[in-house]
Amino acid sequence: MKLPPKDQLIMGIHAVREVFLHAPRRLIAVYYNEPQKQGRKSELIASIEKEGIPIIAASNDELYRMTGSDSHQSIAAHVKGRTFLNVGQFLGQIDGKPSLVLMADQIFDPQNFGSLIRSAECLGADAICWSKNRGADITPTVAKSSCGASEIIPLIRISNLAEAVSEFQDGGFDAVAALLEKGSENAFTFQFSERTLLIVGSEGEGIQPLIRKRANRSIFIPMKGKIDSLNVSQAASLLMGLYQRQFISPLGK
């Protein structure tokens, strides 16, 4: 399926629901295969249809050809493309507030990337930043894995992450790399800065050496079990939670 420039396809019930709930004007059309045994459209489909958004019947084979995945859950949507920010634009939006940004370096697996985006949105990160040249991009699989978070959280999609680290630092951010190496600080006693750029890399590729060098500090999660590491999404979730514990009250105020 060929879309207009910048438009995109998303798939999966959660991704479509989140766009409908939070950005309904982005929904152009929904493609849906209604199971015969269901007998009627789901509550979501009925709500979308009520808003005048076209619902187009599509077989699961057609949905597979559209999305390139068999994990579409019998639903996909044509949406207006997201606006990607650069670092300068993002910095101009946050004023003097505390801010947490997650930077994903060399995350090539779309499932992992989607999970990272979901974690970032759920745990209150103000944006996620990644390179369009070195890792996964926003695709239907990523949007589904993020449960629609990719359609909500601000996105900073750029070419050179090392330069972006310097831009964040010039904007008052402390660049903290998640690294299991000598000199890294224990995550559970680590004192985050109010403005933190948290940098994570894939389990295989890790964080690029140049980005490691530009980071102000590094942090690690001590392991107590027999398995010696978490996956990148789990690790990022824990670290973002520790940041939020320092700057947000238990009631989230």
Query: Terminal CA-to-CA distance of the chain, rounded, Å?
Result: 45
- Helix H or strand E segment including 194: none
Average pLDDT over residues 128-157: 89
What tens digit of pLDDT does each residue of 54-69 get? Answer: 999 999 899 989 888 8
Are both 74 and 90 inside the same structural domain?
no
Are both 205 and 103 inside the same structural domain?
yes
Strand order in the sheet with 8-11: 8-11, 75-79, 27-32, 55-57
Instruction: Look up the domain containing 108 and give its range.
Output: 84-247
Burial tier of 84 (Cβ tally within 10 Å: 0-12, 13-18, 19+): middle
Are both 150 and 128 inside the same structural domain?
yes
Are both 107 and 26 inside the same structural domain?
no
Is residue 231 included in any domain, yes or no?
Answer: yes
Residue 14 banded pLDDT, cuts 50, 70, 90: confident
Are both 18 and 108 inside the same structural domain?
no
Are both 157 and 65 inside the same structural domain?
no
Are both 72 and 100 inside the same structural domain?
no
What tens digit of pLDDT does each residue of 94-117 get? Answer: 887 889 999 999 999 999 999 999
Structure tokens at 59: 């077989």
Are both 188 and 213 inside the same structural domain?
yes
Are both 136 and 199 inside the same structural domain?
yes
Are both 22 and 144 inside the same structural domain?
no
Is residue 1 included in any domain, yes or no?
Answer: no
Residue at a domain's end among 23, 52, 79: 79
Average pLDDT over residues 195-224: 90
Q: Partners of 76 in the beta sheet?
A: 11, 31
> How high does pLDDT run on average in the chain?
87
Which are the contacts of 245, defined by CB distance < 8 A and separation ≥ 6? none
Q: What is the CATH number of the domain that holds 90?
A: 3.40.1280.10
Q: What is the pLDDT of residue 229?
A: 67
Total tally of structural domains belonging to the chain:
2
Is residue 53 included in any domain, yes or no?
Answer: yes
Are both 106 and 72 inside the same structural domain?
no
Is residue 252 included in any domain, yes or no?
Answer: no
Residue at a domain's end among 38, 60, 79: 79
Are both 13 and 101 inside the same structural domain?
no
Q: What is the CATH number of the domain that holds 61?
A: 3.30.1330.30
Q: What is the pLDDT of residue 1?
A: 60
| Under 8 Å between Cβ of 33 and 59 | yes
What tens digit of pLDDT does each residue of 27-50 get? Answer: 999 999 876 445 445 788 889 988
Residue at a domain's end among 79, 109, 126: 79
| pTM score of the predicted model | 0.84
| Under 8 Å between Cβ of 44 and 17 | yes
Q: What is the pLDDT of residue 40?
A: 46
| Under 8 Å between Cβ of 140 and 68 | yes
Q: What is the pLDDT of residue 225?
A: 59
